[in-house]
Structure 1
Amino acid sequence: MKILKNLAVIFSLIIISAACKQNNTEDETKEFSVDFEKITLDNGLQVILHVDKSDPVVAVALTAHVGSAREKEGRTGFAHLFEHLLFLESENLGKGGLDKMSARIGGSGANGSTSRDRTNYFQTVPKDALEKMIWAEADKLGYFINTVTEPVLAKEKQVVKNEKRQRVDNQPYGHNSYVINKNLYPEGHPYSWEVIGSLEDLQNATLDDVKEFYRRWYVPNNVTLTIAGDIDVDQTKAWVKKYFDEIPKGEEISETEKQPVILKSSKRLFYEDNFARLPRLTMAWPGVPQYDKESYALSILTEYLSVGKKAPLNQVLIDQEKLTDRVNFYQNNSELAGQIMLSVTAFNQTDLNAVSTALSDGFKDFELNGISDNDLNRIKAGQETSFYNRLSSVLGKGFQLAQYEIFAGDPSFINQDVKNILAVTPEDVMNVYNKYIKDKNYVATSFVPKGQIDLVLDNSQLASVVEEKIVDGAEESFDPSINATYEKTPSSFDRSIEPSYGESPELNIPEVWKQNLDSGLSILGIENTEVPLVQFELQIEGGLLFENKHKVGVSNLLANLMTKGTKNKTPEELENAIQSLGARINAYATDTNITISGTTLSKHFDKTIALVNEILLEPRWDENEFELLKASTKSSIKRRKGNPNSIASNEFAKIIYGDNNILAYSNSGTEDSVESITLTDLQDYYNKYLSPQLAKMFVVGSISQDKVIEALKTMNSNWESKAVEIPELPLAKVPDASKVYFYDVPGAKQSVIRFGYPALKATDENYYATTVMNYRLGGGGFASQLTQQLREGKGYTYGIRSGFSGSNYTGEFAISSGVRTNVTFESATLVKEILENYGKNYSEEDLEVTKGYTIKSTARAFETLGAKLNMLSNIGNYGLKDDYAKQRETIVKNMSVNDVKLLIDNYIKPNKMIYLIVGDAETQLDKLENLGFGKPILLNK
């Protein structure tokens, strides 16, 4: 083992200096350091260690420098397939692999992701499980491939194919990326195919293909191991050496050369999308690889052109021509090449040629005026906040260090990365526009709803897309019970012995401070100085609860309008004021509240709250912005009509709550209800219902209680206090008998299921206990029966879960999944059987696994600012004690099998549930009568 270096990376972040110049204040410099140590084992494994003792947790990430770019044509999807396979089994972890161990040790859940250039596996665990994780990751890397057999491969093919159906085939515009990449990159270029691969290639993959791919790329000299958190560095290095050192080095892997793209001519393609409800134009230009020196100016260019009121493209497409509600412009940079992506989902029946003309007009405006120093500094100011956010968890720190190691050659590039952002000039931004966008060839796709081909861009050719046909019995069968037989790989010690736990970590419950102001505003806070950030939420109770069912959507429009300017600031001026602080402020409505949330640097908290005061207390009531918001909201509602998951959520709520309960309605409203709403409706809602007596402010971060109270003085003094009564909701009743409901989406490649019924409120004394009871049913990921039987046992789905959700006003139990269309009835039947048998079969082992996970996972319960904010919300909204986490530990420790069975009897009701399916009625509807709950009710005809 060779120690290469021990570095302390020091960041001199002077972005705020630029922002302060804009505000005519003195320059400021903020230093921030991330200490790490990098070592290299003799077999080539790169190891990066970072110590962070702020919480008793450790993040472990194993990143292989292999993605879809290292696949062969005709054998695509292998890298992503391996992301799945490596969780299943290895020689010494046994069947269930890392997922099964994760449930025992209280981990965040073993997870992974695949890109064009890398595959990573990651998890955050209590610090006492660190040696177990190192042992397990080593077993995956060096002692895995023998466990992959024909049945294992056959099953996981089904899972990956279900993932593709869910994420691509059954989604609006799901095939757009495939069409873009196939035409932007030349044949044979490693970015010309999709990361997830094709269904045909996955089906044709042989066991020999899979093993060859693994042995070439999953070797220590192509892998980086990152360990970040509450660690002892010397002990950690000893464990890494013990478990990884004897894994043999693979063949030498040479650095891949960049493969930039040159388009000889522009290409225009179109496709009639079965799920799209609105036309979408996408344009793609060849760009630059990741961390290329010109990528920084391109990033600022795309943001300037498309984000905010001042953005030239927005001014033309949104404000002037009213063609859309949003322009998306961004880079998609990878290791070998990059692409610049511009996407506009237009309003209903909009000709995409009009969109193209408007884009040209927006570009001409930029060509004439360029970007000012003030706008450049405004965009840069947000980078410091984003940077700190990425480092707010140990896993975030680990990811960043590994990213720089693999793609920039050294973790310390993090320092140069920031300098490169700061170095961009207005001239750089104009130069990259001229070099990569202006008059350059591009690929343009027009994805339009069925029957609306007249909306596509002129001179477009039909895109080639392979659509899967729905055929009963088309998938291969497999037997998941077959155990792999193989000769174990020799080792210098017995790797089958799982390491013992280290010293158990103490649960660190953050100290909470509370204060009630004269106005009735309630404040809860946690001071945390790990990073110089503050996150906050101002929750005002009410939301949808105050609305009239004949005019739904008022609170949603009001919340969105609140950030569109103030009495003394135009929408553009308000945006600039927020961005110049490097802050973010959002306002949104839910079923039960209106929330103003934000993130800011701690030194700018007072200035950020001053802007919140303006947003809340000095609304602008801008008629033009209101009309734009109405158009945007109607467009969003229209888009969701083509999304099976959105359809399922909306229909499920209607069935559960019924016409007389406002919660049966989406808080966005309908196209008709939004059209009927006036600005006076919003003003009436604001004047009647927004009161500090219904408000709670939650603040977490590097700021003291005194400074928070001082910043809120204006809000306390100027916000009119008034008593407001929350309307009483009709009781949502549990069905007397189960019924099956079906919503027809012709040609759906998956059936989306929502099974459930009205259940406990979050304030019910049994609410938490029911969530514990649900862990082995469907709340525990791979530790749950639903996942084990429908995904691992049958290959019916990519994922399935069950859970209780609730508020002060209502609660639900729901099972949700997307299942392969041709096994819709089989899936519903299996879910019903699992529910019926859950109580009968619940065992001491089930309880032991549940207790192990639930108790141990509390060590990482409050690691991030977001987690701490959620803690305050639970305390403030549901009346929980500050140490409710410890109280819940006691509940779990004292639970018996009989306690759980009693909860199952009371709250799992397979014969008194709503069974909702959103899918292809022609092929699936009639079969569902065999569930035994009568003839399915078709919700749309």
Structure 2
Amino acid sequence: MKKWILAAAVSAALMGCAGQQQAETSLPEGVTLLETVSFSGEQVGIPYRKYQLANGLTVILHEDHSDPLVHVDVTYHVGSGRELEGRSGFAHLFEHMMFQGSQNVGDEQHFKMVTEAGGTLNGTTNTDRTNYFETVPNNQLEKMLWLESDRMGFFLPALTEEKFEVQRETVKNERAQRVDNRPYGRMGERFNQAFYPQGHPYSWPVIGWPEDLNRADVEDVKHFFQRWYGPNNATLTIGGDFDEMQVLAWVNKYFGEIPSGPKVDAPKKELVTLDETLYLSMEDRVHLPLLRIGMPTVYARHEDEAALDLLSNILGGGKTSLFYKNLVKDGLAVQAGVNHPCQELACQFSMYALANPARGGNLAEVEQAMRDSIKEFEKRGVTDDDLEKVKVNFEAGTIFGLQSVQGKVASLAFNETFSNNPNMIGFDLSRYANVTKEDVMRVFNKYIKDKPMVVMSIVPQGQTQLIAKADNFVAPAEKVASVAVEELTLTPQVVSSFDRSVIPAAGPAPVLTMPELWKGKLANDIEVIGTQTSETPTVEIVVYLNGGHRLLDVSQAGLAGMTAAMMNESSLKRSSEELTQALEMLGSNVSFSASGYQSQLKISSLTANLDKTMAIVQEKLFDPGFKPADFERVKQQKLQHLQRELTEPNYLANTAFSGLLYGDKSPFGVSSGGSLETVSAITLDDVKAFYKQQYTAGNAQVVAVGNLNETQMLAKLSTLASWNGAATPLPELAELPEFQGGKVFIVDKPDAAQSVIKIGKRALPFDATGEYFESYLMNYPLGGAFNSRINLNLREDKGYTYGARSYFSGGPEQGYYQATASVRSDVTTKALIEFIKEINTFQESGMTDKELDFMKSSISQSKALDYETPYQKAGLMRNIQRYNLDDNYSEKQSEITNSIGRNELNKLAKEQLNIDDMVILVVGDRAKIESELSTLGYPIEILQL
């Protein structure tokens, strides 16, 4: 989905002033300054300096001293689009392989070092690039550069057959979890086979075809690395709190001696075309029939891309679109939309609709409605408001995207990789701002009107009568390239000029400064807690209403969410579409939601538009329309959503686990989203009654973050001061059922590719500095970090899963402990044995001294990352407000973390982690797993949901 962003709140001078500067004589030898870009006043952009090393590595530095952290990103211009037919999955496999150690970094040490340093890390792969990134306290930057350079220049000496096999299994597990075991999971790869000609680099999935992964060997992996992962095909981007000249010296030291790789040319861009409309279909374990239509257009940053983006938004970009009016509001579809995702080599004008079974679910009828909407647009044309709302939202999104260092670094890295120019924000804002009505109609006629398309139907198993039209496309047999890469020229392994086995020491610990908080009250005594930021001209406000699902009898489960959904619809004065239009014209977002203990109202606005946004908030909050037509549509959508959820293994697991822990009489044991039975029984009068009970000033508390001081913010919030109503007391909790520990429960999910395992028990409610927090510390080495015992065993050692973890979760009244993973169906019992072994061993012997040191280092240093973004600050303030904590509770947590002893934590492990006190839940194919599970010796019970 495109990112949409805003113009009304900023100056028209959006391009910024980019200047160039001669290389400084103090630069390290071999480092060349290519450009310096800065901005002033209300100009929108990211200041940076761009350098290049002699080996071709591009280095972009963005200084931001607002928080004591740095974000490091290494982007390689290689994705699945660089692969050859029959050799798919290599780029994504490398995303995994390059976390497995290098010549001077031991197995699993990359994750351990970053986590121990208090940082976070990950990697991602798409069709066109692979990136690796870390956010760490600023004193850890040199170590991050050492880590990244070692895997860039010294990865191959550490590559082994064993590592390759384990990561290949991990990728297969990821595919099973994200593709094979997910409803509609195979849609994209099947669709792309029809959309792109055979051999096109986008015609195979990023994760790879299973048979391609199976035929790969270690030599293929080596060759792929040698071809694409050289410094000349990479961009190193660093943002945050650092000294530029020191960083350049480090970059040159660690990366400068890595030899340049083979020459890399930009991939050739040729427009994709279709000769005829192609139909294909598939049956899947789904409830809602889905129709997907795609038409080829251009490629990223083509001159017609912006106009096509605006066209897609007009047709299907939300409640003001034609698709919403003709398909969703009419009830033919539960959900529908249009977007125009673009990649380096191709864009796709993509339309979809989830058909409403209550209207028959016939996809031929849905296709006709989609075609009719396109014809309606042709007659209707483009309005001034169409253009304005999309342009405003595009610019607003740009500004909101600058709230974090990671967001800014990601933008710089992306633009450099694909445009050889990090400074593309102004260009992008300009090209969207300059789109005219004539441009939109021109691209409509050129790429959309009467053009061939791919039409794909996904229907529930056994319901092929619902497909749009008989298939006329059959995927061709795959051709297999004889080699994994072409044009490979090998470079000799560098002999480093210094001892790379020496891990760089951390610098002085950063001085952590809590955000300066203020507390106030509105005229009606609503409590407000806030903080002022100055990084972007934006405001984020959350109104929390105590209650939510907890206010309800279990027979009304789902009512809190239904009421919030109705609050997102019409008011007494305007329709839902008119309200959405008004917000879009401001680049603002106002949304209601509900959860276990509270209902929420979230407000995001550019500061300049906050008054107008708050006027809309006042209308939606105080004068909801509660129209019968809206209610019937929202209720039908909710019921179909619940039917769809029943096909999701994780939903089944979460629902069953809560029921086992708390029973069906407690709000904690019944989903806050409700069930088919409870939601079916909800009436519009129920919604109106709950609105009066929930949406009162007495239940409300406000958290606010923005570039306004206390006086200014309270003045902006004065629209809420006329709100009245007393607080609503929570009802007494039902008695909890007797707990059935030491038992295996199975929820049957026929043909499931994976089994979802959950092991757990009722546990401690939340407290910030007591036993609950200490239990979090205790569990950290067992299942709280990537390199925890559970994850290293099940994922890294055994290859059973894509990820495994354990954690304590607590609310005001109740809490639970859970260990969980999705594992290959054929290793369900083996994985469960390992889970039990790890929990038992940790319960009996506790953590080691090394694990204690790791936990203390990781958690205490991670505080440097806690308060960067507005929503991070809002989370801190909400905890203070909700649990009546001291402003400095986070500092007290650090004191506990640093002072607590191993014996104290291991005593907690003995008390909290007795496996006999826990239930074991498995959601999977009963026919395949029950027999082996019975060998464990636990009683087995089959659950019906």
Instruction: Please classify the TM superposition score into its range, dividing by the shorter chain length.
Output: over 0.9
The separation in 2 between residues aligned to 1:431 and 1:11, in whole angstroms, is: 37
Q: How many Å separate the matches in 2 of 1:519 and 1:900?
A: 45
One-letter amino acid of the structure 2 residue matched with residue 724 of structure 1 = T
Q: Contact 2:403–2:536 (CA<8 Å) still a contact in 1? A: yes
Provide closer, same or farther for how the CA distance between residues 493 and 734 of structure 1 changes in structure 2, counting only shifts above 3 A.
Answer: farther
Q: Is the 8 A contact 1:47 1:224 kept in 2?
A: yes
The residue aligned with 1:283 is 293
Aligned to 2:306: 296
Please report how far the alpha carbon of residue 736 of structure 1 lies from its aligned counterpart in structure 2 after TM superposition.
Answer: 5.4
User: CA-to-partner distance for each residue in 1:761-805, whole Å, 9 max, x for gaps?
Assistant: 113721111111111111112x21111000011000001111111
Q: 2:757 aligns with which of 753, 762, 782?
A: 753
Residue range with higher mean Cα deviation, 430-439 or 173-182: 430-439
Amino acid at match of 2:32: I
Partner of 1:858: 863
**Inter-partner Cα distance in structure 1 for 2:739 and 2:899:** 32
State the match for 2:847 in structure 1: 842
Work out whether residues 697 and 727 of structure 2, in 8 Å CA contact, stay in contact via their aligned partners in 1.
Answer: no
CA distance in 1, matches of 2:406, 2:64: 11
1:677-696 equivalence runs, <5 A? 677-696=682-701
Q: Which residue of the other structure, out of 557, 560, 565, is the alignment partner of 1:560?
A: 565
Pairing partner for 1:7 from 36, 43, 63: 36
2:111 paired residue number: 99
Out of 451, 455, 458, the position equivalent to 1:447 is 458
**Correspondence for 2:338:** 329
Quote how far apart the aligned CAs of 1:488 are: 8.6
TM-score by length of 2: 0.93
1:752-791 matches, within 5 Å, as 752-763=756-767, 765-781=770-786, 783-791=787-795
**Deviations 1:413-443 (Å, cap 9, x if unpaired)?**
2221111111111221122222222111111
- Cα deviation for residue 698 of structure 1 reads 0.5
Given residue 103 of structure 1, which amino acid in structure 2 is its aligned partner? T
> How far apart are 1:672 and its partner, in Å?
3.1
Counterparts in 2 of 1:432 and 1:128: CA distance versus 1, 3 Å: same
- Deviation of the 1:881 alpha carbon: 1.6
Q: Aligned equivalents of 1:142 and 1:776: distance in 2?
A: 31
Larger mean CA deviation between 635-644 and 518-527 belongs to 518-527
Instruction: Give 1:501 deviation, angstroms.
Output: 1.0
- Which region of structure 1 is more displaced relative to structure 2, 135-144 or 286-295? 286-295
Q: Partner of 2:823 in structure 1?
A: 819
Q: Aligned to 1:89, what secondary structure does the other structure show?
A: coil
Residue 588 (structure 2) pairs with residue 583 (structure 1): yes
Map 1:247-396; keep pairs closer than 5 Å: 247-273=258-284, 275-320=285-330, 322-348=331-357, 349-396=360-407
> What one-letter code is carried by the residue in structure 1 that aligns with 2:693?
K
Q: C-alpha separation between the residues in 2 aligned to 1:911 and 1:436?
A: 63
Letter in 1 for 2:356: F
CA distance in 1, matches of 2:650, 2:509: 41
Deviation, 1:661, is: 0.5
Asked if the contact 1:270/1:447 (under 8 Å) is kept, the reply is yes
1:633 to 617, 638, 646: 638
Aligned to 2:97: 85
> Secondary structure of the equivalent of 2:720?
helix
Distance of 2:320 and 2:785 partners within structure 1: 46
- Cα deviation for residue 271 of structure 1 reads 0.7
Residues 854 and 488 of structure 1: CA distance in aligned 2, closer, same or farther (over 3 Å): farther
Shift of 1:668: 2.1
Q: Across the two proteins, how many residue pairs are aligned to each other? A: 898
Q: Deviations over 1:623-674 (max 9, x none)?
A: 1111110111011111111111111111111111102112222222222322
Match of 1:830 in 2: 834
| Alpha-carbon displacement from aligned partner over 1:16-54 (angstroms, at most 9, x marks no partner) | xxxxxxxxxxxxxx4234210000100000000000000
Does the 8 A contact of 1:734 with 1:913 survive in 2? Answer: no
Q: Which moved more, 1:761-770 or 1:118-127?
A: 761-770
RMSD: 1.7
Aligned pair partner of 1:879 in 850, 871, 884: 884
Distance, in Å, in 2 between the alignment partners of 1:94 and 1:494 is 15
The corresponding residue for 1:22 is none
Q: 1:733 Cα shift?
A: 6.0
Aligned residue for 1:253, secondary structure, equals coil
Distance in 1 of aligned mates of 2:697 and 2:351: 42
Give yes or no for contact 2:663–2:669 (8 Å, CA) kept in 1. yes
| DSSP 3-state at the match of 1:845 | helix
TM-superposed CA distance for 1:895, in Å, is 0.9
Deviation of 1:514 after TM superposition, in Å, equals: 0.8
Hey, what's the Cα distance between the residues in 2 that align with 1:593 and 1:464? 49
The amino acid that maps onto 1:123 is: E
Work out whether 1:895 is the aligned partner of 2:934.
Answer: no
2:442 corresponds to which of 431, 434, 437:
431
Find the counterpart in structure 2 of residue 507 from structure 1.
512
Structure 1 residue 288 displacement after superposition: 1.5
Contact 2:295 2:452 in 1 (8 A): yes
For the 8 Å contact 2:67–2:868, the answer to whether it is kept is yes
Which residue does 1:41 correspond to in 2? 53
Contact 1:270 1:463 in 2 (8 A): no
For the residue of structure 2 that corresponds to 1:458, the secondary structure is coil
Q: Does the Cα contact within 8 Å between 1:527 and 1:700 map onto a contact in 2?
A: yes
Paired residues of 2:46 and 2:423 also in contact (CA < 8 A)? no
Q: Write out aligned runs for 1:793-804 (5 A).
A: 793-804=797-808
Alpha-carbon distance in 2 for matches of 1:459, 1:926: 41
Is the 2:278–2:473 contact (alpha carbons within 8 Å) kept by the matching residues of 1?
A: no
Q: Within 2, Cα distance between the matches of 1:806 and 1:438?
A: 55
Asked if residue 54 in structure 1 is aligned to residue 66 in structure 2, the reply is yes
The equivalent of 2:27 in structure 1 is: none
Q: Secondary structure at the match of 2:760?
A: strand
1:831 alignment partner AA: F
* Structure 1: gaps (5+ residues): 13-29, 467-486
Query: CA–CA distance in 1 between the matches of 2:565 and 2:417?
Result: 41
One-letter code of the match for 1:528? T
SS, match of residue 333 in structure 1: coil
Query: What's the % identity of the aligned pairs?
Result: 36
SS at match of 1:411: coil
The answer to whether the 8 Å contact 1:175/1:465 transfers is no
State the partner residue of 1:543: 548
* Whole-angstrom CA distance in 2 between matches of 1:152 and 1:609: 55
Matches within 5 A, 1:594-743: 594-717=599-722, 719-730=723-734, 732=736, 735=739, 737-743=741-747
Q: 1:18 maps to which residue?
A: none
Kindly tell me: are residues 723 and 154 of structure 1, through their superposed partners in 2, closer, same or farther at Cα, counting changes over 3 Å? closer
- Counterparts of 1:292 and 1:591, CA distance in 2: 46
CA distance in 1 between partners of 2:177 and 2:474 (Å): 21
CA distance in 1, matches of 2:198, 2:318: 38
The aligned counterpart of 1:27 is none
1:870 positional shift: 0.7
CA distance in 1, matches of 2:388, 2:159: 53
The SS at the match of 2:609 is helix
TM-score by length of 1: 0.93
Tell me what 1:66 maps to. 78
Q: How far apart, in 1, do the equivalents of 2:759 and 2:447 lie?
A: 50
Q: Which residue of 1 aligns with 2:482?
A: none
The alpha-carbon deviation at position 465 of structure 1 amounts to: 11
Which amino acid in the other structure matches residue 722 of structure 1?
A: A
Q: Given that residues 324 and 337 in structure 2 are in contact (C-alpha distance below 8 angstroms), is that contact kept between their aligned partners in structure 1?
A: no
Deviation sequence 1:604-633 (CA, Å, 0-9, x none)? 222222221211111111211111101110
1:519/1:721 contact within 8 Å kept:
no
Deviations 1:52-103 (A, max 9, x none): 0000000000000000011111111000000001111011122213112112
| Distance in 2 between residues matched to 1:139 and 1:723, nearest whole Å | 59
Further displaced range: 334-343 or 2-11 = 2-11
Alpha-carbon deviation of 1:464?
A: 5.9
Structure 1 residue 939 displacement after superposition: 1.2
CA distance in 1, matches of 2:387, 2:347: 23
After superposition, the Cα gap between the structure-2 partners of 1:148 and 1:598, relative to the gap in structure 1 and judged at 3 Å, is same
